[in-house]
Amino acid sequence: MNPTLLKLTAFLLILAGVASSCNPEEPEIKYTLSPTSLNFDATGGEAEFTVSVESPATVENVESLSTWCQVSTNGISPVAVTVTLAPNTINEVRNTSVVVNMKSGALQATATVEITQEGAEWVLIDGIKWATRNVDMPGKFAATPQDAGMFYQWNRKVGWSNTDPLVNSDGGTTWNNSEGGPTDNTWEKANDPCPAGWRVPTWQELRTLTANSSEWTTINGVNGRTFGSDNDVLFLPAAGYRYFNSTLDHVGMRGFYWSSSSGGFLAAHFLYFNNTSFNFYYYSLRFGFSVRCVAEQ
Q: How far apart are CA 168 and CA 193, in angstroms?
A: 13
In the prediction, which pLDDT does 26 show? Answer: 57
Residue 221 pLDDT > 90? yes
In this predicted model, which residue has the larger pLDDT, 176 or 186?
A: 176
Superfamily of domain 31-117: Immunoglobulins (2.60.40.10)
Long-range Cβ pairs for the range 143-146 (8 Å, 24+)? 144/93, 144/119, 144/220, 145/91, 145/92, 145/119, 145/219, 145/235, 145/237, 146/219, 146/220, 146/221, 146/222, 146/224, 146/235, 146/237
Nearby residues of 170 by Cβ (< 8 Å), 6 or more positions away: 158
Rounded-to-integer distance, Cα 258 and Cα 281, Å? 10
Q: Per-residue pLDDT for 123 more than 60?
A: yes
Angle at CA 290, nearest 5°, toward 289 and 296? 125
pTM of the prediction?
0.71
Does residue 15 sit in helix, strand or coil? helix
Q: pLDDT of 225-250, one tens digit each? A: 999 988 789 999 999 999 999 999 99
Q: Over the stretch 251-297, which tens digit does the pLDDT of each residue have?
A: 999 999 999 999 878 899 999 999 999 999 999 999 999 999 999 97
The tens digit of pLDDT for each residue in 5-60 reads: 445 444 444 444 444 444 455 579 999 999 999 999 888 999 999 999 999 999 99
Would you list the domain boundaries of the chain? 31-117, 122-295
Contact 257, 249 (CB under 8 A): no
- The pLDDT of residue 20 is 42
